[in-house]
Structure 1
Amino acid sequence: MQHAEREHGMIAGLRALVLVGLVTAWWVMAAVLDNPFIPAPAETAAAGLRLIQNGQLLPAVGNSLLVFVLGFGLAALVALPAGVLMGAWRTLGRALDPFAYAFAATPRVAFIPLIIVLLGIGTEAKLTVVFLGAVMPILLNTYSGVAQTDPSLLEMARSVKAGRWDVFTRIMVPGALPSIVTGLRIGATIGLISTVVAELYTAVQGLGGLLALYGNSFRMAEYFVVVLTLAAIGVVVTESLRLVEKLVQRRRHG
């Protein structure tokens, strides 16, 4: 217990040290280069305060989070049962996995013109882009986790004449939980990126819309605020899912 606490404290200290180092390097670079396209940290903080006060930043964050949560939720709703089915039914998995990997390797940006033609540039189009970005990491990790169930556990279950449902619910799915949570974490990261891409290519709203607005007008302090906001959201999402992953592993080993 004490060792784990020391390790957590060391990790937190190292993260704080890296953060201070990055901010210091940013400040030095802005001071040395004296380039209007590289705003100083203080200038960026002032711009962030202005965006909050004039009501631009927080509504944009809300719009982006809504699109991300809905798209990611739909992806999980489809990918989890599909991945479990492919992993549990090996013949189906082997038949479908070449197509799944081919789809996963295709850049999602390639589908955006087709999505716009079919769905327009509204919310449905953005949700589809996020869904396509998040669905494959979840499906493939779930499929891999279920398919790699320990054969000795399956043989033991057969020896005691366990039913298929018991094998599925008590061995396959619990054993695949770490892979499933990892897939959710990767899918969330790609889904967040897809949210910004969708907002840039479709209805120009949310944080992606602010990126386009300030990037095109070269208002770099405001642009940096949006980039840092996206980075902060990404950290919160991935760390939350990492915590879930640790809790799952702890419960599994317990």
Structure 2
Amino acid sequence: MASQSAHLADRKGTGPVATAALRLGFLALILLAWALAARHAPPGLFASPVAVAKAGIGLASSGKLWPALAASLQVYLVGTGLAVMFGGALGIAMGIWPALGRTLDIYVNALAATPRVAFIPLIIVLLGLGLEAKVLIVFLGAVMPIVLNAHAGVQAADPDLLEMAASTGASRGRILWHVILPGAVPFLITGIRIGSTIGLINTIVAELYTAISGLGGLLAVYGSRFQMAEYLAVVIVLALIGVGMTEALRLVSQRLMRWRDV
């Protein structure tokens, strides 16, 4: 009973309200440090939180932000979505068929270790400077963590559960659906979270190296003019996109992992 009460108290201490309070407190500390840094920095080198907020409101009200945001989200979501579908399927296939996994493993690791920027000139030659080139750059950045984690998740399937399922006469398909894939979910979600973060970074890289557009284009323009308030406002937008994607994936993970608590 005592251990149960401690467990419940621990869960209450890390509940949504407590977590939100801690996050807001830490955000207040960040804003305070930011304001102090802007106050003591040389003029024009850094912008205060108030100046950045005003710049963000100005970008939104002037209509400059929304087309850039829409363009970046299109590249990001399409590239990352394709990476999730292809990377998840390939990683699971590599885990299900060991021969395929042993064959492709070395090439997947080699591609994962190669900077994606190295492929940009070739991609531009093949696809030009349009949407397809940007999507491919994002795809190449996001897909590798998903493949590797999906592969690892299938390989980490509990051998005792596999043996138990086989002993009951379960078919290969049922074992895959009810034992292997549920066990691989945490690995796959982790891979998607890492891949989505890299995909967001590669979205900006793609917009800077190809036809300058989207939020990356705004960063290039305001950075070259040393308009730090506008520049940091765009950075904040990118951070909010990353936080939104991470929190969405966390909620998906919680829903998919409820079977563990049954």
Aligned residue pairs: how many? 254
1:55 to 58, 63, 68: 63
Once the two structures are TM-superposed, the CA of residue 73 in structure 1 deviates from its matched residue by 1.0
Is 1:7 matched up with 2:23? no
Paired with 1:81 and 1:252, the residues of 2 have a C-alpha distance of 23
Is 1:182 matched up with 2:186? no
1:72–1:191 contact (8 Å) kept in structure 2: yes
1:173 to 169, 181, 189: 181
**Aligned pairs (5 A) from 1:82-231:** 82-231=90-239
CA-based RMSD = 1.3
Letter aligned with residue 67 of structure 1 = V
Paired with 1:12 and 1:251, the residues of 2 have a C-alpha distance of 26
Q: Counterpart of 1:149 in 2: which secondary structure?
A: coil
Give the match for residue 253 of structure 1: 261
Q: Counterpart of 2:44 in 1: which secondary structure?
A: coil
Once the two structures are TM-superposed, the CA of residue 240 in structure 1 deviates from its matched residue by 0.9
Superposed CA offset, 1:102-152 (max 9, x none)? 111111111111101111110000000011011111111111001111111
Give the match for residue 29 of structure 2: 21
Structure 1 gaps of 5+ residues are none
Once the two structures are TM-superposed, the CA of residue 35 in structure 1 deviates from its matched residue by 2.9
Letter aligned with residue 145 of structure 2 = P
Paired with 2:100 and 2:165, the residues of 1 have a C-alpha distance of 22
Among all aligned residue pairs of Structure 1 and Structure 2, give the percentage whose two residues are the same amino acid.
50
Paired with 1:233 and 1:182, the residues of 2 have a C-alpha distance of 18
Paired with 1:182 and 1:29, the residues of 2 have a C-alpha distance of 35
Once the two structures are TM-superposed, the CA of residue 15 in structure 1 deviates from its matched residue by 1.0
Letter aligned with residue 206 of structure 1 = G
Q: Counterpart of 2:57 in 1: which secondary structure?
A: helix
2:44–2:226 contact (8 Å) kept in structure 1: no
Superposed CA offset, 1:130-175 (max 9, x none)? 1101111111111100111111111112222222111111111111
Paired with 1:80 and 1:33, the residues of 2 have a C-alpha distance of 47
Paired with 2:254 and 2:194, the residues of 1 have a C-alpha distance of 15
Structure 2 gaps of 5+ residues are 1-7
Q: Counterpart of 2:45 in 1: which secondary structure?
A: coil
Once the two structures are TM-superposed, the CA of residue 196 in structure 1 deviates from its matched residue by 0.7
Paired with 2:12 and 2:210, the residues of 1 have a C-alpha distance of 46
Letter aligned with residue 247 of structure 1 = R
Paired with 1:157 and 1:37, the residues of 2 have a C-alpha distance of 64
Once the two structures are TM-superposed, the CA of residue 184 in structure 1 deviates from its matched residue by 1.1
Under a length normalisation based on structure 1, what TM-score does the superposition of the two structures give? 0.96
Q: Counterpart of 1:39 in 2: which secondary structure?
A: coil
Once the two structures are TM-superposed, the CA of residue 201 in structure 1 deviates from its matched residue by 0.6
Letter aligned with residue 6 of structure 1 = G
Q: Counterpart of 2:257 in 1: which secondary structure?
A: helix
Paired with 1:191 and 1:34, the residues of 2 have a C-alpha distance of 34
1:90–1:147 contact (8 Å) kept in structure 2: no
Superposed CA offset, 1:179-222 (max 9, x none)? 11111111111111111110111111110000001111111110
